Amino acid sequence: MKKNLVIAMLMLALSLSACASKKVTLNVTATDSGYDSTTYTVPAGTEVTVNLKNDGVIEHEFAILKLGEHVTPPFGDKDEAKIFWELDGVEAGTTKSDTFTTPTEPGEYDIICGIPGHIELGMVATLIVK
């Protein structure tokens, strides 16, 4: 019994250290009509640095919604609480970076640009967490 406990603790320690070392970079390019991919895949429970390059002529965002949430355009105040994480204020012709930790729950999360009118332009994608 005691030996099993020691083994269990060792396995826990190993899995914790494996988690802590995971880091992923996600390069995304936005234009005024959408993102450069319709899906982006990242591992669950992982630190992800998003580099959002704005190749458009207007400001854009990269907002990830909570699992199961969707936005019916136009995006408005009613939708702010649906956001899990966002990188906003990315001016035209610039690249902005920020880091977040992906959800531990695998699934498909909606990505949108929350600037009014931009979902309608096609600024939607899916974050696949697995």
Site of interaction with Cu ion (CB under 5 A): 60, 113, 115, 118, 123
Q: Which is nearer to Cu ion, 52 or 113 (CB)?
A: 113
54, 30 Cβ separation under 8 angstroms: yes
Minimum Å gap between C-beta 51 and Cu ion is 16
Q: Which is nearer to Cu ion, 119 or 129 (CB)?
A: 119
Return the bridge partners of 90, or none. 60
Q: For residue 129, give the 3-state DSSP assignment.
A: strand
Find, among 122, 57, 59, 56, the residue nearest to 86 by Cα: 59
Q: Which is nearer to Cu ion, 91 or 105 (CB)?
A: 91
Residue 47 CB contacts under 8 Å (≥ 6 apart), including other chains? 22, 23, 24, 99, 100, 101
Minimum Å gap between C-beta 93 and Cu ion is 14
Spatial distance between the Cα atoms of 71 and 110, rounded to a whole number of angstroms: 9
**Position of minimal CB gap to Cu ion:** 113
Q: Which is nearer to Cu ion, 46 or 95 (CB)?
A: 95
27, 49 Cβ separation under 8 angstroms: no
Minimum Å gap between C-beta 114 and Cu ion is 8
Minimum Å gap between C-beta 115 and Cu ion is 5
